[in-house]
Amino acid sequence: MSVIPNLNGQRVSALSAVGNTQLIQLRKIVPPTGAKLFLKLEYQNPTASYKDRMALSVIEGAERKGTLGPGMRVLEYTGGSTGSSLAMVCAVKGYKFIAVSSDAFAKEKLQTIRAFGGDLHLVPSDEGLITPGLFTRMEEETQRLAAEPGTFFVDQFHNTDAFTGYEQLGRELLLQTSRIDVFAAAVGTAGMLMGVSRVLKAQNPRIHIVALEPASSPMLSRSLKGNHRVEGIGVGYVPALLTRENYDEVIEIEEKEARQMARLLARQEGVFAGISTGLNVVAAARLAAKMSAQDTVVTVAADSGLKYLAGDLFYD
């Protein structure tokens, strides 16, 4: 991708647009009493997802280590947002990208991977549901492709280079608000929650970190697997990046509530985001309602509602 000099004479690309997203206060969907609730608009990243942070940090981490270089291809299994982010980073850097995904995930996300030049290997789902078995089959297909020469397997569920990108998110939060009492976010790979937690707890160990999951798949809270349609989270096992000392509580949220909140955010707050964002805000609002007016709860708008228009999210 061609680059042009910016006003400071530095050469920039689309990758320079990753991060530095805005933090807004939600005012209409929160109770009149209780803590202030802030939402980090991660859909302002280039592919409209917080996963851009992870994609850039893991690719540049691999380049520094020498495990990824010219002529190699990048491989990952993904529900879509990670694939879109990796495809974008690879397009800028000149790597071929292969995504193993499934028809269970939003068509918009899969089409975005192709738009950035990525190749898709689709694993059939069970009637469109996100199930533990689906992730197992996707991982098996990925391992087969990873064995081929010249392949860098990102391995987002174990790659600690993801923390680099998400720690920057935590540092941005500290600059954007003078006080954080609670940070709550849904768990997929757990990279974002753990990266932010490492920064926030280093600044103030009393900040309460809350991990969120779908009530129909309460693996973190009750060690139970289940099916759901909240893309990007609730993978059916405890992710390796999730360390118990870096979070304080787990809350289960009903998928129906998450979907309703996504619609309310658009109609009442002007925030156009996806299902996991709805889940994040349901939990954050519930926590804020129990706290004082001096307190602050922060969560994340993980991706844009534009990624869900082909589905039923925005239909009552």
Would the pLDDT of 219 be above 60? yes
Last residue of a domain, one of 153, 182, 213: 153
In this prediction, residues 80-92 reach a mean pLDDT of: 93
Domain count, the chain: 2
Tell whether 38 and 100 lie within a shared domain: no
pTM for the full model?
0.90
Q: Is residue 164 part of a domain?
A: no
Tell whether 143 and 227 lie within a shared domain: no
Tell whether 85 and 113 lie within a shared domain: yes
Q: What pLDDT, in 10s, does the model give residues 57-79? A: 999 999 999 999 999 999 999 87
Q: Is residue 182 part of a domain?
A: yes
H or E element that contains 128:
none
CATH number reported for the structural domain that contains residue 10 in this entry: 3.40.50.1100
Tell whether 207 and 191 lie within a shared domain: yes
**Rounded-to-integer distance, Cα 123 and Cα 111, Å:** 15
Tell whether 103 and 56 lie within a shared domain: yes
Q: Among the residues of the chain, which ranges form H helices?
A: 51-65, 81-93, 107-115, 132-146, 162-176, 191-203, 219-222, 255-264, 275-289
Q: If pLDDT is split at 50, 70 and 90, which confidence band does 122 have?
A: very high
C-beta of residue 15 within 8 angstroms of C-beta of residue 59: no
Q: What pLDDT, in 10s, does the model give residues 269-290? A: 999 999 999 999 999 999 999 9
In which domain, by residue range, is 121 found?
A: 51-153
Q: What pLDDT, in 10s, does the model give residues 160-205? A: 999 999 999 999 999 999 999 999 999 988 999 999 999 999 999 9
Considering only residues 185 and 220, tell me which one the structure prediction assigns the higher pLDDT.
Answer: 185
Instruction: Report the candidate in 67, 71, 69, 73 with the shortest Cα–Cα distance to residue 98.
Output: 73
Tell whether 22 and 92 lie within a shared domain: no
Burial string for 208-222 (b: 16+ CB within 10 Å, else e) reads bbbbbbbbbbbbbee
81-83-87 Cα angle (round to 5):
120
Tell whether 15 and 108 lie within a shared domain: no
Q: Is residue 207 part of a domain?
A: yes
In this prediction, residues 241-247 reach a mean pLDDT of: 94
Share of the chain above pLDDT 90, in %: 72
Tell whether 39 and 174 lie within a shared domain: yes
**Rounded-to-integer distance, Cα 33 and Cα 292, Å:** 7
